[in-house]
Amino acid sequence: MSSQPSTAAVSPPAPPIQATGRSDADELARIVLRFCGAFNRENLDEAMAYLHEDALYVTPDGKRHQGRAAIRAAFEPQFQGACGRLEFINEDLIVDAARGRAVLRWVCRHDLDVPPRGSLPRRLGVSLLRRALGRGRDWQGLDVFYFDGRQIAEKHTFARTLLPLLRAELQPEPWRGPADLESEARPRKGG
């Protein structure tokens, strides 16, 4: 047997966490609550500051938005009041600091009595929702957060209502005519 030291690669230790006077769980809880508070204050810039540059946001209907620019575009209609006023009331927060995860259970108070802003199709859609649902509606949901250090790396939203799905349908998709569909069906050359 050789007494030579092993040449196997050893990963460097993780950098020490800066002492803040709070436990890691308290720090992650504070980040989640401030991030969610930015939604109630309709402060998009503040909310975006908590997200990692390459963050992932998954909506209740499964749409994935990768990176700050894509997430900002997904959040903008909500922050601009395009679907009325939303207020999130936090009910329960569970933090697993050792694994860098948190789950927040909330109730969303959706006030449709606020005049909608945005495009004509969106305003008409909100008017139809108001006719169907009245002045507003509360619905439940939760967010699952994954952290990279002190930044939110992923936010997965789940909702117990059809309302977010209906709102998603109000966003018009680009029109695709027969020529578009035909070109998609044709095999591509060289691939």
Q: Please give the CATH architecture assigned to the domain spanning 24-167.
A: Roll (3.10)
* Per-residue pLDDT at 11: 39
pLDDT at 100: 96
Q: What is the pLDDT of residue 53?
A: 97
Distances (CA, A) of 105 to 74, 95, 134, 139, 157: 21, 12, 25, 11, 10
C-alpha 19/C-alpha 2 separation (Å) is 43
The parts of the chain modelled with pLDDT lower than 70 are 1-22, 83, 112-136, 162-191
Q: Are 21 and 30 spatial neighbours (Cβ–Cβ below 8 Å)?
A: no
d(CA 65, CA 89): 24
- For 48-57, write each residue's pLDDT tens digit: 999 999 999 9
> For position 9, what pLDDT does the model report?
45
Is the whole model's pTM more than 0.75, yes or no? no
Where are the domains positioned within the chain? Answer: 24-167
How many angstroms separate the most distant Cα atoms in the chain?
A: 82
Beta strand segments in 19-66, E: 51-58, 64-66
Interatomic CA distance for residues 133 and 69, integer angstroms? 32
- Give the model's pLDDT for residue 43: 96
Return the pLDDT at 169. Answer: 46
How many CB atoms are located within 10 Å of the residue 97 CB? 16
Residue given tokens 């002492």 in the structure block: 19
| pLDDT of res. 139 | 82
Output phi, psi for 98, to 5 deg. -60, -30
Sheet (strand 101-111) strand order: 64-66, 51-58, 151-160, 136-148, 101-111, 85-96
